[in-house]
Amino acid sequence: MKALVVGGGGREHALVWALSRDPEVDQIYAAPGNPGIAEQAECVPINATDIGKLIAFAAENRIDLTVVGPEAPLAQGIADSFQGRGLRIFGPTRKAAQIETSKSFTKDLCTSYGIPVPRWETFTNVTDATRALDRFSSPWVVKADGLAAGKGTTVTPDRHEAEAAIHRELQRDPHRIVVEEFIDGWEATFMATISTGRIHWLTPVFQDYKPVLEDDAGPNTGGMGCFAPVPAVTPSLVEKVGKTILTPTVQAMEEMGVHYRGVLNLNCIVGYETGDPYVLEFNSRFGDPEWQGVAALVEKGLATHLFAIADNEKQPSAPECRESASIVVVLASKGYPTSQSIGDKITIRPFSNNSVIILHAGTARNLDGELVTAGGRILNVVATGPSVESARKDAYSVIGSSIQFNGMHYRSDIGAPHRRQRNLQLSRAQK
């Protein structure tokens, strides 16, 4: 099988890395890729949103399966265009991808079909949105309606900050925002592959860390790390999420004539008091960095599964995953997410720990061929082990001894014991 991975970040490096270990895959291309991806695939200089060139490349090179990593090409209809040319692609159509590209579309869908979602209202002007803050109690939740690279959500008890978020997010296309009820709870990420109106594979469930600083302080980011297993994610919660959110959502889209084919990524929040899950948002692609954590657990069957989903098969077999703990720690550039440092030399020294892999996200080569930062999230350190604590220890030991770049920033509390203990207490309280 020849595979093409579209994108050049940490999620795409994880896809390439996992596919490179799959005996069904003979050759991998990546567009545009990055220096880390180049170690396992042939990188081609085509931007992820240059759909015409991607189609031409896939056709000329007889690509058997194209896998789309980032959201932007999905929003532009890359799946529609590939399918129109008879090219096999893993990823939803533009209409289906609205579940990520338009929060108001998703909120309407959930409300219409009785899928649990926090109370919400949508606005296109500052005056109406500001007045709505009086109808929502503090802390306020303000969200950009469209794509915002994981940085379009503000949660704050400060009214001035909420009003500033309204002004800021209304500047984004499509100049529409959502004001949402705050749910006091904890978050988890559920990723499921979908075709023929059914769920075929639910990946291991991760807990993500969005705020940039320890103890969930500072502005939201695209994700600073994640871990699994999450103690509070019990079999009963997984069943409840499936019955009340995932399956009804897929069925609702089918009723609307939207045939979803790809991965449906649910970021849900579970209320502290009730233990009930609510939809915070959906993504139409693998989570970043959650997919990096999943990829490290996949043992076999990934390429065959993605191929079958892209072919819209009715009963594709799910990939096999190890029942191990997994943790991802993101190393970001100085100033992330409000600014970024570019061109800083990166040093990665050899290490002997086989339970750890380093995935490239925002890296590049300078004119001298040196590995340098390209801004944003730079590297993902992924570790697996018999427990979260052992994986966590391995990940942070490598960061301290083997990786350096100017201004390197990361959270030191990913998968920390106090977070896991709190989840365990919540899990017991909700039984």
How many angstroms separate the Cα of 192 from the Cα of each of 6, 125, 254, 341? 20, 35, 16, 35
Residues 264-310: tens digit of each pLDDT: 999 999 999 889 999 999 999 999 999 999 999 999 999 999 999 99
Q: Is the pTM of this model over 0.75?
A: yes
Which residues 6+ apart lie within 8 Å of 84 measured at CB?
none
Which pLDDT band holds residue 430 (cuts at 50, 70, 90)? very low
Q: Is the pLDDT of residue 425 over 70?
A: no
Residues 332-377: tens digit of each pLDDT: 999 999 888 999 999 999 999 999 999 999 999 999 999 999 999 9
Q: Is the pLDDT of residue 426 over 80?
A: no
Which pLDDT band holds residue 154 (cuts at 50, 70, 90)? confident
Chain centroid to CA 4: how far?
A: 19
Which pLDDT band holds residue 132 (cuts at 50, 70, 90)? confident
Diameter of the chain measured on Cα atoms: 59
What is the CATH superfamily name and number for domain 119-180? Answer: ATP-grasp fold, A domain (3.30.1490.20)
Q: Is the pLDDT of residue 427 over 60?
A: no
Q: What is the pLDDT of residue 172?
A: 80
Range name among 54-58, 179-183, 361-365 with the lowest pLDDT average: 179-183
Residues 386-404: tens digit of each pLDDT: 999 999 999 999 998 999 9
- Outline which parts of the chain fall under CATH 3.30.470.20: 183-323+423-429
Average pLDDT over residues 82-102: 96
Residue % of the chain over a pLDDT of 70: 96
- Outline which parts of the chain fall under CATH 3.40.50.20: 2-91
- Outline which parts of the chain fall under CATH 3.30.1490.20: 119-180
Sheet holding 177-180, edge to edge: 120-123, 177-180, 140-144, 153-156
Q: Is the pLDDT of residue 151 over 80?
A: no
Instruction: Report how far residue 144's alpha carbon sits from residue 150's, in angstroms, rounded to the nearest whole number.
Output: 10
Write the CATH number of the domain with boundaries 2-91: 3.40.50.20
Q: Is the pLDDT of residue 222 over 60?
A: yes
Q: Which top CATH class is 183-323+423-429? A: alpha beta
Q: Are 409 and 336 in contact (CB under 8 A)?
A: yes
What is the CATH superfamily name and number for domain 325-412? Answer: Phosphoribosylglycinamide synthetase, C-terminal domain (3.90.600.10)
